[in-house]
Amino acid sequence: MKRKLFIFMLVGLLLVAMTVGCGPKAPAGGGGMQTYTIVGIFPLTGVLSTFGENSAEVARLAAADVNAWLEAEGKNWRLKLEIDDTATEGPVGLSKMQSWFGKGVKFFAGPMASGVAMECLAFANANQILYISPSSTSPALAIADDWLFRFCTTDEVQGPALAAAAKAAGVEHLIFAWRGDTWGDGLQGAAAKSLAELGIAVDSNLLRYDPLQEAFTSEAALLDGYVSAAVAKGIPLNKIGVNVIGFEEVVPFMVEAAKYPQLRNIAWIGSDGTAFSEALLQTRVAAEFARDVKFINAMNKPAELTEKSNFDRVRNHIQEKLGRETDAYSYNTYDIIWALAMSIDRVGYDSVKVKEILPEVTKEWSAVYGASGYIELNEYGDRAFADYNYVMLDDNLEWFIPGYFDGLTKQIHWETRVF
């Protein structure tokens, strides 16, 4: 009996020892080779799934490139990339981060949505977990000295770009319809502020919808009612606009809106959440509606690219792998993996030390190789400045860029006149 107990205890101890040894620094092979893990937490399901798929694929490409570089340089470590799904939901994203942290992971690429990034913040701050979002733009997350970095600008820059687009479209009275989460609320607030500065009236009816919404019959009917009420007040249809701030759920919204004739005669402004949306292109009714109403979106304009930039590499890879044009944020994802890898290469798998050198390493690397161009981070750890491309659908239902908004001068530069 005692002998059996002893054997059980021995096996138990062995199992515990093996489990403890399964951390991110577990040797991958002989010769003292180390493996360091970065986890990409992206929305592979939910309303950002197109963006999530793109970023996951780009992160894999970046990890492969990093490992090729490490091998070529004769380094004694390799990068292990794990991909996990946040389902575009805060609690899911947080549970994934907690689970990976439990396995010893301290570096994360993503999440993409501000709502998810917000959910992870307290846990990351408390445990010194460094995570970099390629696309979280909420001004609410511009916090100095936290553990969240963002390789995109905040909506304090996008808000004026949307307001300028509304002005250019001749809008004098604007109705907001937006997803009620951290990102949606932040961008709606920033856009409303900028609209006021441009003298555009904001409708007192605010259409803030549930982010988990999958059916939009009531929302479209309400919007139609708000437009009718504005017309009844004497505002002509062509001076009315709607700024719909959402992700891919805007597609079923548009399918429903297409059933109301007068909604085809107002201006439709979008955001970076719908720019280059593959979901929109895949749904013909919504795509044709978006084309007919000149649905205009704003999207981070990649900074000026060098000859060695990885922009084309990322773009071609997604076209080959997924058969579509990738979104602007996926270029940031490529740069995130590289920035983390270069920092780890310098100071090891230590999040405190990596946090200290990350802004400098990012600047140096992106200045030459950045897929999204040069990245300078501000005091909040967010991309400091950027211009915004406008993105619309052409007659062939393909996305095109008619011009851009200069973030510094607050002026639109049109390449193709659309209004």
Contact residues for another protein (CB under 8 A)?
Answer: 44-47, 49-50, 53, 85, 87, 180, 205-210, 212-215, 217-222, 225, 248-249, 251-252, 255-256, 259, 278-279, 282-286, 321-324
Which are the contacts of 243, defined by CB distance < 8 A and separation ≥ 6? 162, 166, 174, 175, 176, 177, 178, 188, 191, 269, 270, 271
Whichever of 120 and 250 has its CB closer to another protein, that residue is 250
Beta pairing, strands 297-300 & 267-269? unpaired
Among residues 248, 257, 258, the alpha carbon closest in space to that of 280 is found at 248
Whichever of 281 and 375 has its CB closer to another protein, that residue is 281
> What whole-number distance in Å separates Cα of residue 67 and Cα of residue 55?
18
Q: How far is the CB of 251 from another protein (least distance, A)?
A: 7
Beta pairing, strands 77-85 & 130-133? unpaired
Q: How far is the CB of 283 from another protein (least distance, A)?
A: 5
Q: How far is the CB of 417 from another protein (least distance, A)?
A: 32
Q: How far is the CB of 336 from another protein (least distance, A)?
A: 22
Among residues 198, 188, 260, 207, the alpha carbon closest in space to that of 231 is found at 260
Q: How far is the CB of 271 from another protein (least distance, A)?
A: 17
Whichever of 164 and 275 has its CB closer to another protein, that residue is 275
User: Which strand ranges, in their side-by-side order, compose the sheet holding 297-300?
Assistant: 297-300, 388-393, 399-406, 411-414
Whichever of 161 and 254 has its CB closer to another protein, that residue is 254
Q: How far is the CB of 307 from another protein (least distance, A)?
A: 31
Whichever of 321 and 353 has its CB closer to another protein, that residue is 321
Which are the contacts of 408, defined by CB distance < 8 A and separation ≥ 6? 385, 387
- Provide the token pair at 308: 């060695």
Whichever of 20 and 232 has its CB closer to another protein, that residue is 232
